[in-house]
Amino acid sequence: MSDTRRRVKVYTLNEDRQWDDRGTGHVSSTFVERLKGISLLVRAESDGSLLLESKISPNTAYQKQQDTLIVWSEADNYDLALSFQEKAGCDEIWEKICQVQGKDPAVDITQDPIDESEEERFEEIPETSHLVELPPCELGRLEEIADLVTSVLSSPIRREKLALALMSEGYIKKLLGLFRVCEDLDNREGLHHLYEIVRGVLFLNKAALFEVMFSDDCIMDVVGCLEYDPSLVQPKRHREFLTKTAKFKEVIPITDSELRQKIHQTYRVQYIQDIILPTPSVFEENFLSTLTSFIFFNKVEIVSMLQEDEKFLTEVFAQLTDEATDDSKRRELVNFVKEFCAFSQTLQPQNRDAFFKTLANLGILPALEIVMGMDDLQVRAAATDIFSYLVEFSPSMVREFVMQEPQQTDDDVLLINVVIKQMICDSDPELGGAVQLMGLLRTLIDPENMLASTNKTEKTEFLSFFYKYCMHVLTAPLLANTAHDKSSKGDSFVVCFACLDNFQTAQLLALILELLTFCVEHHTYHIKTYIMNKDLLRRVLVLMNSKHTFLALCALRFMRRIIGLKDEYYNRYIIKGNLFEPVINALLDNGTRYNLLNSAIIELFEFIKVEDIKSLIAHIVDNFYKALESIEYVQTFKGLKGRYEQEKDRQSQRLNSLSLSRYRRDARSLDEDEELWFNDDDDDDDGEAVEKRMEDDFSDSYGKYMEAKKGKQLLIVLCLLGTFCHFHFTFSQEEDEEEEQSPRKRARLSS
């Protein structure tokens, strides 16, 4: 069994002043020949690889924080930390560090860090002057104390010495005692001085001082001191907010008192950092780095303690999915899980993986399926945030759950359909929630993050599932807002203008079209089949008539992506349905206005011209060139006409050349056969036997000759017919692999 006392996590501070987890292992202190000294070694518990090798330098300042942390700097902007699983292990390594440096293990910092710019001044300080001399902690000396604290902030060495002095004399608690006295006496001047003192002490950036200031018996007095900012006419009421407005709700009773205390402390310290303290200036931005680290490690500890309490989390999810749980209780449970997931973002990837796997095993996804369908907007919003954490963590985990759901008769109960319905029914005028959910859906249906194994393909299975059970729910608003035009002779659709005048409805349709456009780009076979079966492009293009230009552009972008695939299957569908008509009508209706819609339509036709998509060029020129020939501010349509004429001339020349070639070859072949037959006849006219044999064989030879002649004539006809068909029809040279295997394609080929 491994020694848990020496089990540690190794952290390094990155450029954003955030701690990065470098791994978990076991620490030891031993002599390293290469480094010529006692060093700290951490080997990974997974494979024994070396995570850390750091020589204990006599001049390095090591700090002990929160009983289980040792922090130090090895070089400029390179901070390290060891987080111990047990206090005993931290104490053991701390004693070894102090032994190497000749320090008393009772201290929390082994050295005064020396700044290069102050080395000379440090050497001038007498050896007897180890600490800053503090004035007596009295009401009459508060101004002097405030001046002293603010004066040392520009000097790293003096900050260190002041911090040691404040710790050695128990000065913090004496100052907070004076705060209570000043507040009782309504001594505003003294309270203003105490604000400067406490703010300056926080800027000393020392974890040992934070341990005292943020303890249960001191933190509210610290908050009280920070209420009396001299720049404010009236003091803030932060304590009133923390004690009366902000209520700590235990959705499930927390029996661990240490965990409860840690949660309270973290919330209050976060409030101090985010709300009370002013935004630090450029020169002060590093003064609170230790405060950020304090909050970070507190959150890591809270998540770890909750994650290890299986009884607590099991009860949370049991009540969350229990139909007997009332709405207010369920709201509190969902908000708790949301905050729990938010805290997990402080974890490093490997720890976050373990965290979300724990939630998955406890049934987070079935619980979300219930709460996301509730009418309570707050509950749905919190559930959406939780769902986003899960999708960002592992889309495959969510997809696997969805496909394992029992196939109900009502597709609306499926988790993805619940998400789609929530997106469609978003009550926010700006559709903020719908935009967030659309992004999550796109992540789930993105083939780029789908895994493929030897036995099964996640892409094939999930996309088949999605198009069978979910796509009709996604496209329902689009199909509902386009109606069949019964007055038209052909099959056509018209837009429901009464619905689309609503800006929110137009925004929703734009989101759906954006998702469908994504499908066209990434789902070759499935979306193609769906578009053909539902005649979806025709339904989309009626939105070109919308008064909202952004919606017309979304419809045009959908068609542009389809044409961009250069798939003849799509091209034949567009030609047969005459689907360029609404696009050209929109261009003509736009007139001479030079705007985004005009440019987008011109770009579509320019793409067809540049890529030389022959079938579409022929269709456009044959059917719409008369309407487009007057547009001369771009050369696009004249270029299309030129391409069309070139192709027509090329095919005509090819047909004529092929026909003449075959006629000449067949005539010459026929003359040679006849000459050979008659030559044979002349050679055999001597002798009776020869004449008799010739008479017997004449009928047979003549029959063979006529049969060959008819065959050659038939060949000429077939060749001409093939050339004619090739000129009038263009077929795709490549088909999707899945399309080739489809029964419809095989039937067409066989016919």
CATH of the domain at 24: 2.30.29.30
pLDDT bin (cut points 50, 70, 90) of residue 35 is: confident
pTM above 0.85, yes or no: no
Residues 179 and 64 occupy one common structural domain:
no
Q: Is 398 exposed, middle or buried (0-12, 13-18, 19+ CB in 10 A)?
A: buried
Residue 239 covered by a domain: yes
In the predicted model, is pLDDT for residue 253 greater than 50? yes
- b/e 484-502 (16+ beta carbons within 10 angstroms → b): eeeeeeeebbebeeeebee
pLDDT tens profile 499-538: 566 889 999 999 999 999 999 999 988 999 999 999 999 9
Q: What is the mean pLDDT of the chain?
A: 80
pLDDT bin (cut points 50, 70, 90) of residue 430 is: confident
The lowest-confidence range among 4-18, 134-148, 641-655 is: 4-18
Using alpha carbons, select from 496, 497, 484, 595 the residue that is nearest to residue 550. 595
**Mean pLDDT, residues 42-50 taken together:** 87
Tokens linked to 740: 């080739």
The pLDDT, as a whole number, for residue 115 is: 45
Q: How many domains does the chain have?
A: 2
Tokens linked to 644: 């069309």
Q: Provide the Cα torsion 697, 699, 705, 707; round to 10°.
A: -130
Decide which of 227, 249, 277 is a domain's last residue: 277
The lowest-confidence range among 231-235, 296-300, 663-667 is: 663-667
**Mean pLDDT, residues 379-408 taken together:** 87
**Mean pLDDT, residues 3-11 taken together:** 81
Residue 488 covered by a domain: no
Residues 23 and 83 occupy one common structural domain:
yes
Residue 182 covered by a domain: yes
Residue 360 covered by a domain: no
| Three-state secondary-structure class, residue 47 | coil
Residue 86 covered by a domain: yes
Residues 150 and 97 occupy one common structural domain:
no
User: Which range of residues forms the domain containing residue 163?
Assistant: 141-277
The lowest-confidence range among 67-81, 340-354, 483-497 is: 483-497
Cβ atoms of 269 and 291 closer than 8 Å: yes
Residues 188 and 238 occupy one common structural domain:
yes
Residues 24 and 149 occupy one common structural domain:
no
User: For the CA atoms of the chain, what is the radius of gyration?
Assistant: 41
Helix, strand, coil shares of the chain, percent, nearest 5, are 65, 10, 25
The pLDDT, as a whole number, for residue 272 is: 93
Q: Is 632 exposed, middle or buried (0-12, 13-18, 19+ CB in 10 A)?
A: exposed
Residue 26 covered by a domain: yes
Rounded Cα–Cα distance for residues 33 and 52 (Å): 16
Residue, of 664 and 402, whose pLDDT is higher: 402
> Which element (helix H / strand E) includes 195?
helix 188-203
Residues 84 and 164 occupy one common structural domain:
no
Decide which of 277, 303, 323 is a domain's last residue: 277
Q: Tokens 């009626």 identify what position?
A: 542
Residues 81 and 153 occupy one common structural domain:
no
Residues 255 and 151 occupy one common structural domain:
yes
Rounded to 5°, the CA angle 51-344-40 comes to 20
pLDDT tens profile 334-382: 999 998 898 888 787 778 888 888 898 888 998 888 888 888 888 888 9
pLDDT tens profile 697-740: 444 544 444 454 455 454 444 444 444 444 343 333 344 444 43
Percent of the chain with pLDDT strictly greater than 90: 36
Residue 606 covered by a domain: no
Residues 55 and 170 occupy one common structural domain:
no
Rounded Cα–Cα distance for residues 205 and 209 (Å): 8
Residue, of 516 and 402, whose pLDDT is higher: 516
Decide which of 101, 116, 150 is a domain's last residue: 101
Residues 145 and 96 occupy one common structural domain:
no
The pLDDT, as a whole number, for residue 671 is: 52
**Mean pLDDT, residues 32-56 taken together:** 86
Residue 342 covered by a domain: no
